[in-house]
Structure 1
Amino acid sequence: MSDTELPEVEPDTELDEDDRLRPEFVRAVQEAVAEGDVDEARALVEPLHPADIADLFELIPHEDRASLAKAVSDLLDADVFAEMNDYVREDLIDALEPHQVADLAAELDTDDAVAIIEDLDEDDQRAVLRALDPDDRAAIEEALSYPEESAGRLMQRDLVAVPEHWTVGDVLGYLRGQEDLTTDFWEVFVVDPGHHPVGTCALSWILRTPHWVPVADVMQREQTLIEVDMDQEEVALRFQKYALISAAVVDGEGRLVGMITVDDVVHIIQQEAGEDVLRLSGAGEGDINEPVRLTVRTRLFWLVVNLGTAMLAASVVGLFQGEIAKFALLAVLMPIVSGMGGNAGTQTLAVVVRALATNQLTSSNTVRMVTRELTISICNGVSLAVLIGLGTFLIFGNRDLSIVIGMAMIINNLIAGLGGVLVPVTLDRMNVDPAVSSAVFVTTMTDVGGFLSFLGLATLWGLGG
């Protein structure tokens, strides 16, 4: 072997170094299905983790999914559907019979089963619910009665709760003697006779404490309780703030009705963060598996709104068409002022929307936030004014034009900073999601403010004279 030759290394045939399915592997599965080689397709898919099987269905075209599902039907268990993208899952669920959907739902935790059933048509929902066991049906119907994206939809009903008069030995005996207990839990909830949670015991405490010690002596009485109708975004913030692994969910009377675990909250944090970014741009859900018709409808709505605001900005320019006709450089430079203001407004808006979403910005520190952003706007505005003023003078040799565009830059940066804070805060106080519509208002303010400040100052300075 020469010095430049390296030994051949057989690469992983399924996943690349980033744990993503290799394109050649996906093509191999598609070709096996297209050729009707069910055994080959199944042999390729069988070693995959449920999450990777879900990814495989998301990576292949919509029209090929039904054929793949038929070829590997025995591998499509509840774990795969739980990991699957909502739109892809809907495609496959629509092709199943109600009793098949019911079988899947029965294998899942209540929150995952609800995620599958809630998107079905009303008639299909009833058919699936009828096919479920009475206990599963009651749990899912109760979950569906809560608002969407609430703790009631998110919580699991399977948990471990014990009375506070038990000893640690009683708890251990109960855990070992009950075969139908949930297997995924990190703490035991302690309840009073009215089934109100009064504390929690981590499994590590129970395992390391002598059997004769009462649970009431080792339990942690301070706990974070989640109301059943709490929004899932607020639930995620509670988990993040208090570093929770799991939390009890209580109904309106304070009774323990379920629990939420951190693995569910991780999905929420990812989902909510992505939603805010996409809403700021008016791109809807931004899911590449979303039907084209829905995507067009969502994006077109905000594009039409933006067109209206652009017309408003254009009407401001129209007020100064005489000055622009006399001094053409105004038309060359005015987009710079509005564009830079828009960029500054977007920066402030992104920070404020995030601060609102994470409860960093509240009514108690709004004034401080406004002062902070105005300070930043002045500093940035002055810096940009010096640069754009100097650049304008060097290029066009017009001192008055340099002064006007510098002053306009400062003014529009102040408008951007003020709008970037006040618009989302005002919308939030009105119970309107600031991530959805703030960008439209802030962009309008910076466009109108940029054109008006630059052209207005130019007129007052006599540049068009």
Structure 2
Amino acid sequence: MLKDLINRLTSDELKDILEIQHAFDIAQALDELDEEEKKTVINLLSMDKLTEVLSYLEPEIAADILSTYSLLHQKVLVSELDPDDAADIINELEEENKNELLKILDKDEEVLSLIQYDESLAGAYMTNAFVKVNISDDVKQATKKVIDIAEDVSTIQTIFVVDHDNHYCGEIPLKTLLKSKYPLTVKEILTVEPTFHVNDGIDNLLKHIKHYGNTEVGIVDEENRLLGIITQDDVLDIYLEETQEDYEKLAALPDTDFKEGSFKTAMHRIPWLLILLTISIPSAFVTSNFTGILGTFVILAFFQPLILDAGGDVASQTLAVTLIELTKKDSKVISNGFKEILTGVINGFVMGLISFLITIIFSYVLHFDHGVWIGLSVGLSLWITVIIGPILGFFIPLFIKMLKFDPAVASGPFITNLIDILSNVVYFSLATIILGGFVA
């Protein structure tokens, strides 16, 4: 739509339309434009609208746009952005540009206190633009402070309370403050909510927010001084980033960058694929050691994919359930893990019985001798494999968690390859034991 408007309207007409459009819609529409059209749109945006649009763009894209302006213009834009958004964008600038910009920012610029935090820490996502009142204030004084600062902060839904040394004392919902009458004081209406440490990891922050249900979370230092807050929109961004990261780990993918070309993407992925390829070599080696039984009973090769796929499927299901359980505060990971294993025993028996009957039918139709014994080899192998799958899917992430690593690194491809090796060993070993007497 925006592309069409650029071609049909005059600059003044387009500028008027851009001013009444939501900044998110403009940010989304920029993806459809070529470089010249993007430049046209950006040049028509007012300063206020441009900062809004930048805040909705991915930080690396916003940084590319910011870097097209002079340093003085960059300084103005950064001062207009919310501090947490500004910090994200500055961190995506080229190192030289970033250092030059930081040098000319005012020393009291709030973004400077946020730049220092690593993106894996809570401090990187907090904003220091929020409503703060003193514990000695009465409700009239507190209400006046909210009114005075409302235009300059991210949210006014929660008012944070500190003492004279900026120590966190509690918080007040805006609704509660507005309903309170003088001479009540802030101290009389505040509630103390759990806060979060600035240097703690965002994985724990997400669990904290989920468990306590906060819409805004106070971020404090070692001495319980209130440094900033995490807002609801920040939480949604963190959830999105963490979900993508966990999915990448489960799929054994390196960090995904959608701006990279095919060659760079391939170069990032090839090490992981080579690792998985190396892990899969033992599976081929196992098969090569059973050429005798395979040569006599060729039908075993027909059912090999069935055995391998079933084990990998149930392992991946148990892995997903275990990872979900490990994120819960009231987790019953052990009991649920054993329930998964028992489920594997039951499912494996049913699947093994069905495959036993199907194998006998296939053997009869294809005129293979010893159909019952071949069916027993396939059915029993499938049962055992479907039991092994949930055992690995449960114990591997649990073990990784005990070592203080992220259990999501127990990726699906890794466990699937491990299952393939064990499934082949089980399948051909049982086939050799059961059918070995029939080999000439």
Query: Structure 1 length normalisation: TM-score?
Result: 0.85
1:325 and 2:295 correspond = yes
CA RMSD of aligned residues (A): 2.6
Alignment partner, residue 84 of structure 2 = 111
1:172 alignment counterpart: 143
Gaps in structure 1 of 5+ consecutive residues: 1-24
Asked if the contact 1:57/1:88 (under 8 Å) is kept, the reply is: no
Relative to structure 1, the CA distance from residue 177 to residue 38 in structure 2 (aligned partners, 3 Å threshold; closer, same or farther) is closer
Checking the alignment, whether the CA contact within 8 Å between 2:66 and 2:74 is kept in structure 1 is: yes
The AA in structure 2 aligned to 1:80 is: V
Cα deviation for residue 216 of structure 1 reads 1.4
Residue 265 in 1 paired to residue 235 in 2?
A: yes
Matching of residue 313 in structure 1 with residue 283 in structure 2 = yes
1:358–1:109: structure 2 CA closer, same or farther, 3 Å change rule?
A: farther
TM superposition shift of 1:94? 4.1
Aligned match for 2:266, one of 296, 312, 315? 296
2:153 match: secondary structure: coil
Quickly say closer, same or farther: Cα 1:291–1:103, change in 2 above 3 A. Answer: farther
Aligned to 2:382: 409
Distance change in 2, residues 1:177/1:41 (3 Å) = closer
CA distance in 2, matches of 1:354, 1:371: 15
1:141 is displaced (CA, Å) by: 2.8
- 2:419 aligned with 1:446: yes
Q: 2:4 aligns with which of 10, 18, 28?
A: 28
Contact persistence 1:423–1:438 (CA under 8 A): no
Give the secondary-structure state (helix, strand or coil) at the position aligned to 2:111: helix
Q: Deviations over 1:31-81 (max 9, x none)?
A: 839xx9866865775553211121122345xxx235422443232611111
Match of 1:126 in 2: 99
3-state SS of paired residue (1:189): strand
* Contact 1:248/1:260 (<8 A) preserved: yes
How many aligned positions are there? Answer: 429
**Cα pair 1:57 1:65 within 8 Å, conserved:** no
Question: SS in structure 1 opposite 2:31?
Answer: helix
Residue from 150, 153, 172 that aligns with 2:121: 150
Aligned residues of 1:38 and 1:72 also touching (Cα < 8 A): no
Which digits, 9 at most, give the CA deviation of each residue in 1:194-214, with x for residues without a partner?
A: 321111111111111111012
Opposite residue 395 of structure 1, the aligned amino acid is: F
Residues of 2 paired with 1:236 and 1:65: CA distance?
37
5+ residue gaps, structure 2, are 365-370
Shift of 1:337: 0.2
Please say if residues 227 and 252 of structure 1, whose CA atoms lie closer than 8 Å, have aligned partners that are also in contact: yes
CA distance in structure 2 between the partners assigned to 1:299 and 1:457 by the alignment:
37
Deviation at 1:145, TM superposition (A): 1.7
Summarize the alignment of residues 44-443 of structure 1 with structure 2, pairs less than 5 Å apart. 47-60=20-33, 64-65=34-35, 67-75=37-45, 77-136=50-109, 139-177=110-148, 182=153, 184-220=155-191, 222-286=192-256, 288-359=258-329, 361=331, 365-397=332-364, 398-443=371-416
1:52 partner amino acid: D
Partner of 2:159, secondary structure, is strand
Verify the 8 A CA contact 1:51 1:83 in the aligned structure 2. Answer: yes
Whether contact under 8 Å (1:344, 1:417) holds in the other structure is yes
Counterparts of 1:435 and 1:174, CA distance in 2: 45
Deviations 1:404-444 (A, max 9, x none): 11111111111110111111122222233332343243112
Q: Quick one: structure 1 residues 50 and 206, their matched pair in 2 at CA, closer, same or farther if it must change by over 3 Å?
A: same
Post-superposition CA distance 1:92-147 (Å, at most 9, x none): 344333333322221111110111011122211111112323221xx323212222
- CA shift in 2, pair 1:250/1:303, >3 Å: same
Letter of the aligned partner of 1:50 in structure 2?
A
